[in-house]
Amino acid sequence: MKTLTQTDTQLFHWLFGLTAKRDCRWIIWMSRTGDGHLYLILGLFLWLFEAEHGALFLYSALLAYSLELPVYLILKKFLRRQRPCDLLQNFSAHITPSDKFSLPSGHTAAAFLMASLIASFYPSMLILVYCWASIIGLSRVLLGVHYPSDILAGAALGLSMSYFSLSLL
């Protein structure tokens, strides 16, 4: 476990070092596409205007997010992993995190959940949406608020909740 933590911290330092002295507006913008507003707008748009899959997509998304959110909150509260910006010395993140703990990444969980749903209903979008979700995850490390393993855990959470919700409908 110690080796994993050391590797995670080293990878974090290397990735964050790429942005340490740069203007990060575009990274912040990419991260904000994972804040959740886009998901609601997309779901409602599809529900209103896409007769073939729109309603089922919206119901799947609502179910998946209603399953994902409590699991996410329980994991955060139970694991209580401090964010790199709070734990590491002489370090400042590019943004202020929305909560105290980092594991799992909620932005990444939500992005991979949405990407998985979109890819399931609209397979031609698969590469685009998984690239977008990956960029959101990477942005959270580049901004200094998550370790790489937080991103992997968030992706696993989002994917598993998406697949589970799709299996129920």
Q: Give me the pLDDT at residue 87, please.
A: 75
Question: 3-class SS at 34?
Answer: coil
Torsional sign, CA 126, 132, 137, 142: positive
* The pLDDT value given to residue 88: 74
- Tell me the pLDDT tens digit for each residue of 43-93: 888 888 887 888 888 899 999 999 999 999 999 999 999 888 887 777 788
> How does pLDDT run across 98-131, given as a tens digit for each residue?
888 989 999 999 999 999 999 999 999 999 999 9
Nearest to 154 by CA among 99, 95, 94, 113: 113
CB burial string 91-128: b at 16+ within 10 A, e below: eebbbebeeebbbbbbbbbbbbbbbbbbbbbeeeeeee
Which residues form the catalytic set?
Answer: 107, 146
Position 19 pLDDT exceeds 90: no
Quick check: pTM over 0.75? yes
pLDDT at 2: 67
Residues 117 and 119: their CA atoms lie apart, in Å, by 5
